[in-house]
């Protein structure tokens, strides 16, 4: 069975230590609500490759974030480099307020990247804002998938910029772009995600959810069945979750809640392989 981690993070070597330190510091402000955030790799490409190999993961997909409205050339250049590394693939990213967002989308598509990550909390844009809508619409025209951080971010204060209700409004305006909502459709908004997202023809990923919140397993199982197992992608949010633990725990969850071997294979890698067009390459 192929295992693909659809949601990971890594940084250029000179920036990795500082990025992990800053993100850990941000999350510490909310440790009483969400627990301590501890990195499980050194944040580099080599660290992610080693982690994935240890966990039995064939491909780890990096999800970069353009946190500034300044041009994101360097972010997408790094993504294109990572996309060619053994055991890795990468999406790109743009900021909805980047004045060159359209040109940068075209450029990253030309680099061969298959999608973009948008993080409404870090980017300060609601998912259904006109500026976000136009980026998502153009991404779809270019054949790019869009993955959103969805729900609460444990390092950022309210309000939440990507709720299931706002995703529904986005979907009305952008009916055709392939959308993926991270963290079981909306971190800490799982009840709403289970009620709204199955009607919207979107995907969800399991990152930073199943191993972290075992008390939510009955609800997670309901969400997966409502979505359909062909719309669910395994993810970890590495380095913020150990990939080995996530694989082991997700397998146990799928077995305990009596998903079929075919369903489990689809969630752990088959669905992602289809989206990323890498099944033959890595089998």
pLDDT of residue 279: 62
203, β-bridge pairs: 180
pLDDT of residue 238: 98
3-state secondary structure of 126: coil
Domains defined along the chain, listed by start: 4-282 (3.20.20.140)
pLDDT tens-digit map of 80-111 = 999 999 999 999 999 999 999 999 999 999 99
pLDDT of residue 70: 87
- Cα distance between residue 146 and residue 173, in whole Å: 15
pLDDT of residue 233: 99
pLDDT tens-digit map of 120-141 = 999 999 999 999 999 999 999 9
231-255: average pLDDT: 98
pLDDT of residue 281: 44
**Does 3 score more than 60 pLDDT?**
yes
**Does 44 score more than 60 pLDDT?**
yes
**DSSP structure class, residue 187:** B
The set of residues, in sequence order, having a beta carbon less than 8 Å from that of 119 and lying 6+ positions away, is 65, 67, 93, 148, 149, 153
| Span of 25-39, 104-118, 141-155, 261-275 with lowest mean pLDDT | 25-39
**β-pairing verdict for 88-90 and 115-118:** unpaired
Overall size of the chain counted in residues = 283
**Does 74 score more than 70 pLDDT?**
yes
- Cα distance between residue 265 and residue 232, in whole Å: 11
> Taking Cα atoms as reference points, which of 94, 87, 141 lies closest to residue 117?
94
**Does 282 score more than 50 pLDDT?**
no
């Amino acid at each position: 069975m192929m295992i693909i981690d659809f949601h990971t993070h890594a940084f250029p070597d000179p920036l990795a230590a500082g990025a992990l330190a800053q993100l850990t510091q941000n999350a510490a402000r909310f440790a009483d609500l969400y627990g301590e955030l501890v990195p499980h790799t050194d944040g580099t490409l080599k660290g992610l490759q080693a982690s994935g190999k240890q966990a039995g993961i064939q491909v780890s997909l990096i999800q970069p974030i353009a946190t500034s409205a300044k041009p994101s050339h360097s972010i997408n250049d790094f993504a294109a480099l990572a996309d060619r590394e053994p055991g890795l693939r990468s999406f790109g990213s743009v900021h909805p307020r980047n004045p060159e967002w359209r040109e940068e989308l075209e450029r990253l598509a030309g680099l061969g990247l298959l999608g973009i990550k948008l993080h409404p909390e870090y980017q300060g844009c609601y998912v259904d804002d006109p500026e976000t809508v136009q980026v998502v619409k153009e991404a779809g025209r270019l054949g790019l998938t869009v993955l959103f951080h969805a729900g609460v971010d444990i390092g950022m204060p309210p309000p939440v910029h990507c709720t299931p209700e706002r995703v529904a409004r986005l979907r009305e305006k952008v009916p055709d772009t392939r959308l993926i909502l991270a963290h079981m459709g909306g971190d800490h908004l799982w009840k709403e995600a289970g009620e709204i997202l199955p009607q919207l023809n979107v995907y969800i990923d399991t990152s930073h959810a199943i191993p972290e919140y075992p008390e939510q397993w009955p609800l997670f199982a309901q969400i997966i069945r409502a979505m359909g197992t062909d719309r669910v992608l395994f993810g970890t949010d590495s380095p913020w979750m150990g990939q080995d633990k996530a694989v082991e725990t997700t397998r146990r969850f799928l077995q305990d809640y009596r998903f079929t071997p075919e369903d489990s294979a689809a969630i752990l890698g088959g669905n992602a392989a289809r989206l990323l067009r890498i099944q033959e390459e890595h089998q």
